[in-house]
Structure 1
Amino acid sequence: MSHSTPALSSHQEAALGDDEEQSMEIMSLESAAESHTRFQKSISRFSFNGLSSTQQSPVQDTSSSSTSSAKTNPLLKSPLTSHLGKRSRTQYELPLTEDASPSKKPAKKKKPARGYSSPEVYAHLNHLNDCISESLDIIFCGINPGQRSAEIGHHFGHPSNHFWKCLHLSGLTPERVPPTEDFTLPERYQLGLTNIVERPTAEASELKNSEYKDGIAPFFSKMTRYNPRIACFIGLQTGRIVLDYVMRSRPKAERPTFSPGLQPYKLVHSKPRNGSAEAGSETVFYSIPSTSGKTQGYQIPDKVKLFTQLGVDLKMLKDGNLVTANLVEIMP
């Protein structure tokens, strides 16, 4: 006896249709999973030697990005305190050269530094005049005039140089002074400008170390004559060479290690500074990274920080709060 299939109600037909759609979706997902597995197996046969682990995985944890940034650049987070004096000394984790930090990859490939160039190469360029007078607060001592500076006749004249910007952003000048007004610094702001090497070049790498050393004695004679409160080297290489020169008579084991900022020696003058009732006066020395735009180890915020610290120590020196008794007295 035959049995007829009972007719489905409209509600049952709808439920059956939903079951069929779900079955098709499950099959589709299983197929996609199998395809993905086959794809993973196929690419595992290939190696990608040029990619780091972070480049291979586009998803990265950013929860600690702000903490990592603070650790890689502690200079920007450290408080402004004097290196010496009544307040505690702040230890900065500073690179001791102006090259790019090993942990930072340059945005573009760095051009190789130029080698030594004889004076004849730039003989057509004029030397720069010093912008100094007696008893200034700070005399900045550059490495040597750059090509652009020599062409226009003014210190730190290249548009990419950060000197004038750092001077203003640190508060050492209330406005940004253009290079063409460098000669006004002594009278307007009690600041001066000179160089350790007189002859101009396009890059400092075109000088010999012997030229730095030959410029040290004339530089100290100049500081003895003009008696500034602070003489600040713009360029860590200059500061390092001068420190080695000053400490040359000491055994190597007793020589202090070079670092940016306040240097471990001072020049004592036999006569008082203008406007001072002291029987004698001192010049202390500072070292700050090169303000050239080519400097990779220090960026503008880093340089501004050091210029600002220079201003802090200048104020402490004027107020008698910067302790200099432990600095080595030098005889140039």
Structure 2
Amino acid sequence: MTAPHDVPDLTGSGEYLVPDVLQPGLTLVLVGTAPSGISARARAYYANPENKFWRTLHAVGLTPRQLVPQEYATLPQYGLGLTDVAKRHSGVDAALPGEAWRPDELRRKVEHYRPRIVAFTSKRGASETLGVPTGKLPYGPQPQPLDWPAETELWVLPSTSPLGHNHFRLEPWQALGDRVRELRGAAEAGNPSPETPVL
């Protein structure tokens, strides 16, 4: 297991535009691409009021009420965490420079914290991390990469960004919410993890 000091800026208190919300024992870590300009200025995740992220979390039962962006640090009480693939840049994905993407840094965090599920909140973040073209990434659970912790499932979700509103679908998010509840129920019952669903 990677030692804490081997993972750059775990707290995000230094160079990260928005701090990570990561700790051991999380059921789900949601991974964005990079903060929007609005989120970077607010230092809060998904702060654009037109972004569906916080509404979607509540709609699929991942939070008991709709949180506001400034409450992002409370997510671990619901077993959830947040990070991005590009932690030091902001703006739309297409405008990010190549050096903005830090997939190896994300992989080290996953190896260190070992959440039960890592879910990318867009195909672009998953593509940059996995080296797979976006057109070959279906929504839902993904095949396990060889260098991924065996106990951590990998999912890809439709973006909640207002830029992608024409492509947004709630169903993959709902399937993820159902899977999180399934894993929590199995853990509470002391049972082995149920099989990953196929969408």
Give the deviation of 1:209 after TM superposition.
4.4
Q: Give the Cα–Cα distance (whole angstroms) in 2 for the partners of residues 296 and 226 of structure 1.
A: 32
Q: Give the Cα–Cα distance (whole angstroms) in 2 for the partners of residues 137 and 154 of structure 1.
A: 21
Q: Indicate yes or no: 2:68 matched with 1:178.
A: yes
**TM-score of the aligned structures, taking structure 1 as reference length:** 0.48
% same residue:
27
Task: Go from structure 1 to structure 2 and tell me whether the alpha carbon gap of 1:323 and 1:178 turns closer, same or farther (over 3 Å shift).
Answer: closer
Q: What do the CA deviations read for 1:109-139 (whole angstroms, capped 9, x no partner)?
A: xxxxxxxxxxxxxxxx971111111110101
Give 5+ residue unaligned stretches, structure 1. Answer: 1-124, 246-256, 270-281, 325-332
User: Counterparts in 2 of 1:296-315, with a 5 A limit?
Assistant: 296-299=165-168, 302=169, 304-315=170-181
SS of the residue aligned with 1:232?
Answer: strand
User: Counterparts in 2 of 1:116-135, with a 5 A limit?
Assistant: 127-135=17-25
**TM-score of the aligned structures, taking structure 2 as reference length:** 0.78
**1:230 paired residue among 114, 117, 121:** 117
Q: Give the Cα–Cα distance (whole angstroms) in 2 for the partners of residues 323 and 176 of structure 1.
A: 27
Q: Indicate yes or no: 2:143 matched with 1:264.
A: yes
Count matched residues: 173
Q: Given residue 140 of structure 2, which amino acid in structure 1 is its aligned partner?
A: G
User: Counterparts in 2 of 1:181-260, with a 5 A limit?
Assistant: 181-186=71-76, 188-209=77-98, 211-212=100-101, 215-244=102-131, 257-260=136-139
Give the deviation of 1:141 after TM superposition.
0.7
Q: What do the CA deviations read for 1:217-238 (whole angstroms, capped 9, x no partner)?
A: 1101001111100011111112
Task: Name 1:321's counterpart in structure 2.
Answer: 194
Q: Give the Cα–Cα distance (whole angstroms) in 2 for the partners of residues 312 and 297 of structure 1.
A: 24
Task: Name 2:38's counterpart in structure 1.
Answer: 148
**Larger-gyration structure (1/2):** 1
Q: Give the Cα–Cα distance (whole angstroms) in 2 for the partners of residues 244 and 150 of structure 1.
A: 26
Runs of 4+ in 1 over 6 A off after TM superposition: none
Task: Go from structure 1 to structure 2 and tell me whether the alpha carbon gap of 1:265 and 1:127 turns closer, same or farther (over 3 Å shift).
Answer: same
**1:290 paired residue among 159, 163, 183:** 159
Task: Go from structure 1 to structure 2 and tell me whether the alpha carbon gap of 1:164 and 1:323 turns closer, same or farther (over 3 Å shift).
Answer: closer
Q: What do the CA deviations read for 1:151-208 (whole angstroms, capped 9, x no partner)?
A: 111111111111000000111111001101100111x201001010012323121113
Give 5+ residue unaligned stretches, structure 2. Answer: 1-14, 187-192
Q: Given residue 227 of structure 1, which amino acid in structure 2 is its aligned partner?
A: R
